[in-house]
Amino acid sequence: MPKTLPDESGAAVQLDAPHPKLCADSETAELCLLLETIFERQGIDFRDYAHSSLKRRVLRRVVEEGAGSIAGLQRLALADPMRMERLVTGLTVHTTSMFRDPGFYLVLRDQVVSILRTYPFLRLWVAGCSTGEEVYSLAILLHEAGLYQRCRIYATDVNDAVLAKAKDGIFPLSVMQEYTRNYQKSGGQRDFTEYYTADSKFVVFRPFLRENVVFAAHNLAGDASFNEFHGIFCRNVMIYFNRRLQDRVHQLFHDSLVTFGYLGLGRSESVRFYPSECGYEAVSARERLYRKIK
């Protein structure tokens, strides 16, 4: 039986899907060709993403672009840079929210902050940060813990469009009730409105929350590490990768963490079954928060 995990829409993602090159049916062959073309033209490697969910997203683009088939979509994208950009953006899922899974942040506040306090300076990496909600959440938590002034957060994503939004720190007013509830459930005790200014449609997070953040493009499917970190947060990103790419990224993170550094993953993700598994102990297995022990 192939191993599967639910993605964020609840659909099953097959973890051990064969490499696209080994796939036979014609639609899958067209998908393989499309991924090769995107890699050649755009330099972004989707070839080791979990196949089933990637195919769903490509087929959605086929419908939205009126392309008729995956091969048709490829022709249209090659002829029109805007379509290519929409295609590349549409291949990744950007769902995120502030203080997502509040229990995760509770564990950070209760069990991790006191250890982080022992370091003179902190380097933290939010990999796959999407539009930045997770980054602002972390900055707020560190600010409340008195640690923000001595930390640098590296916030990276493969997608330039979401990174640009993350840098702006502007979010719709309509989601603030949910974010405020999450903040409170995560142990936040202040008035959440302290952190942003609002108009009738949008909120803008206060500039100090960006001051110690470096936003940069980084592709987990190909790029190397760029520092040594006390904490790496890569939540709800690897769920979209196949086993080979997950192994690569786990190795990258293990190599990039200081000994006793922390690794935070998403609800459906884990260090279990990976070669680096024994290099970690669980801080909270439920919240998918681990500590590198060797």
Ligand X SMILES: C[S@@+](CC[C@H](N)C(=O)[O-])C[C@H]1O[C@@H](n2cnc3c(N)ncnc32)[C@H](O)[C@@H]1O
Which residue ranges make up the site for ligand X (CB under 6 A)?
Answer: 92-96, 100, 128-130, 134, 157-159, 162, 218-221, 235-237, 266
Nearer to ligand X, 30 or 157 (CB): 157
Shortest distance, CB of residue 103 to ligand X, whole angstroms?
Answer: 14
Distance of alpha carbon 97 from alpha carbon 127, whole angstroms: 15
* Rounded-to-integer distance, Cα 40 and Cα 272, Å: 33
CB of 166 vs ligand X, minimal distance in Å = 9
DSSP bridge partners of 196: 205
Minimum distance from residue 24 beta carbon to ligand X (Å): 26
> Shortest distance, CB of residue 92 to ligand X, whole angstroms?
4
Which residue(s) pair with 241 in the sheet? 49
CB atoms within 10 A of CB 230: 19
d(CA 109, CA 186) in angstroms, rounded, equals 8
288 burial level (CB within 10 Å; 0-12, 13-18, 19+): buried
Q: Based on CB atoms, which residue is closest to ligand X, 232 or 283?
A: 232
Nearer to ligand X, 9 or 149 (CB): 9
C-beta closer to ligand X: residue 60 or 117 = 60
Integer Cα distance of 144 and 57 in angstroms: 39
Residue 17 C-beta: closest distance to ligand X, Å: 16
**Pick 92 or 246: Cβ nearer ligand X:** 92
Helix (H, G, I), strand (E, B) or coil at 204: strand
